[in-house]
Chains A and B, each alone.
Chain A
Amino acid sequence: MITAETVNYISSLARLHLEGPEAVKLAGDLEAILHYAAKLNALDVASVTPTSHVLNVENVFRDDVPAPGLTPEQAFSFAIESQDNAYKVPRIIE
């Protein structure tokens, strides 16, 4: 059961502010989707290895050769607010 309390907890983990009716609707939606997903419980997967990635590649490295990247001007050209080549945000310690 997805309670209002669960929705509040998950929304704070997700850093997503939800208003009253929106939270109620989401609780119902999540309930319905998780109910559908419960069909996976019918399978015995105790001895199955999980797949996180379909390709059998690991630890892909490239040679450490310097190459030009974005300049600070380019990187900050789309910043919401920046100062001295850093993103500016509200004071963190209030």
Chain B
Amino acid sequence: MNTASLTAHELMDRIKIGGITPARIVDDVLARAQAVNPGTHAFIRFADKITAGEGACPLPIAIKDNICVNGSLTTCASKILEGFRPPYDAEVVARIKAAGGVILGSANMDEFAFGSSCETSVYGPSHNPWDLKRVPGGSSGGSAAAVAAGQAVWALGSDTGGSIRQPAAFCGVVGLKPTYGRVSRYGLIAFGSSLDQIGPITKDVRDGALLLNIIAGFDPKDSTSVNAPVPDYTRALGRDVKGLRIGIPREYFIPGIQPEVLAAVRAAIDVFKAQGAQIVDIALPHTAYAVATYYIVATAEASSNLARFDGVEYGLRAFPAVPRKGKLIDMYEETRAQGFGAEAKRRIMLGTYVLSSGYYDAYYLRAQKVRTLIKQDFEKAFGACDVILSPTTPTTAFRIGEKMNDPVAMYLSDIFTIPANMAGIPAISIPCGFDGAKLPVGLQLMAGPFAEETLLAAAYAYEQAAPWHQARASL
């Protein structure tokens, strides 16, 4: 038995019948994680102390490096947070620990989650387990690569514009972005506060439901977390999709999509059809404006959130060799100059620009209005369908270095994932095939606010009929 290739629910079944102990699982998965990490660089560090857990779900997990773990280095893959050890657990981490979960270490990411390839990490890029010369996607690339390579049973990522779903698609695993407010953001180092959501990256849909069961729920420490009951999401699995209305947004099937991605997604539509789902043609007319809207709203929020990193309290503090403006201002400006990487600087500058006097109305306010139009597109669409189906990404994983010098091209790789964040709705990426280079293709499903059960039921029905998720990268 190869422990590292098993899903969480398979491992739990084996624990129950006495086939394996939690301690053995931790040993096996950690050994695998350490053995292949020089190739994938999915983990940027392993936890100082790793011991077997006790509880309802004592399985090893990878945590994205922007989620606080009490006493453990948490750096957002940025130099500006070097040495930072939060004195508290993020709410999701507290819930995982309460269930007996074992934190293996910190998963690599784009610096402050700014990126779609994991290449902006100050620790260097992660590599796609299906082809080490390619990116695992981002920003939760380390989390997705760790799950795909068997370096963790499952992982947590965060998704502001597709940062869970896009790497899940590139790595051939399942990535779920819950409804905004479903999961507490307490202890998630903020990027775009109106968009960020933590979610599971897993080997199959059942694991996604299991991990969501653990992390979802109201948290008084996050005033945007919603005080609504949390169902047992696994109970939605196995629900019939006969009669389920699946919307196909014509704006998501555009020139420029890799033909093999298109073919795999078309085949997935046929799988749903064969199961009796009703396929509905829908329109999301403002889709073409989503990326531009996102890069104004998200960078504006990011520039505000990142103002706190100024050398005063924690992380890096630096001074210029030659004084410029006075010691305190010099400290702020030099700490940020040395501490942030190129993409972080780009987004801070863009966000500051669109919020600055004279440009606020033209850019930020206008983008917030277009956000309303994008949200209304979904409200209308969900009158005609229950689930929306699309590719997760226009292409499969690209080569390391390919898009680093063209920010707009990099931003466009999130074209299909950004709208769900703008509208706050839940969305999932599941494996739906491979291209000619044996790189995974991701299928995205989106549902209305708090309709995670519908989403998971549809994803599970597809996965059972088309078990692409069972393929494992050979490393």
Contact = CB atoms under 8 A, between A and B. Distances in A.
Interface of A: 6-7, 9-11, 13-19, 22, 26, 29-30, 32-34, 36-37, 39-41, 43, 45, 48-55, 57, 60, 62, 70, 74-75, 77-81, 87, 89-92, 94
A40 to B, nearest CB: 5
A60 B223 contact: yes
A52 B368 contact: yes
B28 to A, nearest CB: 34
B370 A55 contact: no
A80 B423 contact: no
Contacts of B331: 89-90
A78 to B, nearest CB: 5
Interface of B: 83-88, 180-181, 194, 220, 223-224, 226, 286, 288-289, 291-293, 295-296, 303, 307, 310-315, 317, 320, 324, 326-329, 331-334, 336-337, 340, 342, 345-346, 348-350, 352-353, 356, 363, 365-373, 375, 407-408, 411, 423-424, 449
Contacts of B363: 34, 37
Given A36-B291, A75-B87, A89-B312, 11 more contacts: A10-B352, A10-B356, A15-B333, A16-B349, A17-B324, A37-B367, A39-B288, A43-B289, A48-B370, A52-B194, A87-B313
Given A15-B332, A17-B336, A79-B314, A33 B295 contact: yes
Most B CB contacts (10 A, CB to CB) among A90, A91, A94 go to A90
A94 B326 contact: yes
Nearest to B424: A54
13 contacts: A11-B349, A17-B324, A36-B408, A37-B363, A39-B292, A51-B369, A51-B371, A57-B223, A78-B85, A80-B314, A81-B317, A89-B312, A90-B327
Contacts of B326: 94
B289 to A, nearest CB: 6
Which 6 A-B residue pairings sit nearest by Cβ, starting from the closest? A54-B424, A50-B368, A17-B333, A90-B327, A45-B369, A60-B223
A11 B352 CA distance: 8
B353 A26 contact: no
A90 B328 contact: yes
Contact of B370 (A9, A32, A45): A45
Contacts of B313: 79-80, 87
Contacts of B368: 50-52
